């Protein structure tokens, strides 16, 4: 697929970002392109707002999976592009428009030039939330075409175009959303003794949980507990009856995330007594770590050596990705694709360079060819 076509597709997708399991226009557009480039041999199935496309191999010994996520984020775009999001409150701020476009480009290449093995292209919804990988993995639709191995990419603003990065072992962390609701008793600011102030309770709670990482965990177990948002009260001269904290938990060890949750719950029970209130914790979406099989990383390096693309060794990050659920059950790997953006992931001004689209397509196709010639 030529660069101009890839650019056109990416910009069309960029304008219609949709949240998890609401990717109706996105699915419709993807199906339109997939049907345009498909032949009679290609099979297409849908699962909720996702799509699976199977390209039969010439002499298959295995089925190789490639996954692209398709949802956007609830972020108001501020790029100033003439192809900015038409869905004003949503944006492809994590590069999923790139991911989908690259998958379509690779799909056309494999359709036009089939490899020995079967390939299943997985267009997965709801990566950003509430999490689409695990339910898709468990669906009968996916199980019918379950790959023997699977891989995926993610754009990386910090790497230059023409560079990919990965590593064997842990690449992305275990993550969990965190929502904490406080319920007390509101009242007039002049009569605090008649109230149960949830602004004070929530503020103290934020301070208290800072001790979880520093005192409740082994110093060798990396973890992050971050509260990114706090809401409470309605007016300056009234004491807040409710408060809400929103944050995230991230760990490099899957067992540590349970330790953090247990400690949070213990602190919450103590605060209920101390502040005479009710506290409810909700962990929202939980993502399993992205763990790359070393033999697949070796084959990935081998594939890149036959291209102008530069491979560099990445470091593990506290980034979360629900592709980890797929890698937990199916061997494979994930890699970063350099897009050289001035702004980072989830930023309203992220501006990945579109030249990375052709690099991504080349990388994916070369990996598919290499995996087909070398059963790991």
pLDDT at residue 121 greater than cutoff 80 = yes
CATH fold for the domain made of 174-283: Alpha-Beta Plaits (3.30.70)
Q: Rounded CA gap, 88 and 128, in Å?
A: 18
Q: Is the separation of the CB atoms in 49 and 70 below 8 Å?
A: yes
pLDDT at residue 237 greater than cutoff 70 = yes
Q: What is the mean pLDDT of the chain?
A: 97
Pairing of strands 169-172, 163-166: unpaired
126 phi-psi bin (left φ>0, alpha ψ -120 to 50, beta other): left
CATH fold for the domain made of 3-170+289-373: Aminopeptidase (3.40.630)
Range 151-166 average pLDDT: 98
Q: Rounded CA gap, 112 and 26, in Å?
A: 24
User: Which ranges in the chain are annotated with CATH 3.40.630.10?
Assistant: 3-170+289-373
pLDDT at residue 51 greater than cutoff 70 = yes
Catalytic residue among 117, 127, 128, 197: 128
Tell me the pLDDT tens digit for each residue of 333-362.
999 999 999 999 999 999 999 999 999 999
pLDDT at residue 376 greater than cutoff 60 = no
Question: Has 97 been annotated as catalytic?
Answer: no
Confidence of residue 94 (pLDDT cuts 50, 70, 90): very high
Q: Rounded CA gap, 62 and 141, in Å?
A: 18
Confidence of residue 374 (pLDDT cuts 50, 70, 90): confident
Range 234-258 average pLDDT: 96
CA-closest candidate to residue 59, choices 122, 120, 121, 114: 114
The CA-based diameter of the chain, rounded to the nearest angstrom, is 80
Q: Residue 192 half-sphere exposure, CB side, CA atoms within 13 Å?
A: 7
pLDDT at residue 375 greater than cutoff 70 = no
Range 364-371 average pLDDT: 98
User: Per the confidence metrics, is the pTM higher than 0.85?
Assistant: yes
Asked if omega into 130 is within 30° of 0 (cis), the reply is yes
Tell me the pLDDT tens digit for each residue of 302-313.
999 999 999 999
User: Which ranges in the chain are annotated with CATH 3.30.70.360?
Assistant: 174-283
C-alpha Rg value of the chain to the nearest Å? 23
Range 51-76 average pLDDT: 97
Catalytic residue among 18, 23, 69, 197: 69
């Amino acid at each position: 697929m030529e660069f101009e076509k890839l650019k056109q597709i990416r910009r069309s997708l960029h304008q219609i970002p949709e949240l998890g399991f609401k990717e109706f226009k996105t699915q419709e557009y993807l199906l339109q392109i997939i049907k345009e480039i498909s032949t009679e041999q290609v099979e297409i199935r849908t699962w909720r707002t996702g799509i699976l496309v199977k390209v039969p191999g010439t002499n298959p010994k295995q089925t190789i999976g490639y996954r692209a996520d398709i949802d956007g984020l609830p972020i108001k775009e501020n790029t100033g592009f003439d192809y900015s999001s038409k869905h004003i409150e949503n944006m492809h701020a994590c590069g999923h428009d790139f991911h989908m476009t690259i998958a379509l480009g690779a799909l056309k290449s494999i359709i036009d030039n089939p490899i020995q093995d079967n390939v299943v292209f997985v267009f997965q919804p709801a990566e950003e939330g509430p999490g689409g990988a695990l339910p898709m993995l468990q669906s009968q639709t996916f199980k019918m075409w379950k790959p023997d191995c699977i891989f995926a990419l993610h754009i990386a603003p910090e790497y230059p175009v023409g560079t990919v990065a990965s590593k064997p072992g842990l690449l992305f962390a275990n993550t969990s959303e965190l929502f904490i609701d406080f319920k007390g008793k509101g009242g007039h600011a002049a009569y605090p003794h008649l109230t149960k102030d949830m602004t004070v309770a929530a503020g103290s709670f934020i301070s208290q949980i800072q001790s979880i990482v520093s005192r409740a965990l082994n110093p060798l177990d990396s973890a992050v507990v971050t509260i990114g948002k706090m809401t409470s009260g309605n007016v300056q001269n009234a004491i807040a009856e409710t408060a809400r904290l929103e944050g995230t938990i991230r760990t490099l060890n899957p067992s540590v995330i349970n330790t953090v949750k247990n400690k949070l719950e213990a602190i919450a029970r103590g605060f209920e007594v101390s502040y005479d209130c009710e506290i409810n914790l909700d962990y929202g979406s939980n993502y399993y770590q992205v763990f790359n099989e070393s033999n697949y990383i070796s084959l990935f390096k081998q594939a890149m050596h036959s291209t102008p693309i530069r491979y560099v060794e990445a470091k593990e990050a506290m980034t979360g990705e629900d592709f980890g659920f797929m890698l937990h059950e199916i061997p494979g790997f994930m890699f970063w694709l350099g897009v050289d953006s001035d702004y980072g992931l989830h930023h309203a001004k992220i501006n990945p360079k579109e030249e990375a689209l052709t690099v991504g397509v080349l990388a994916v196709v070369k990996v598919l060819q290499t995996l087909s010639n070398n059963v790991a």
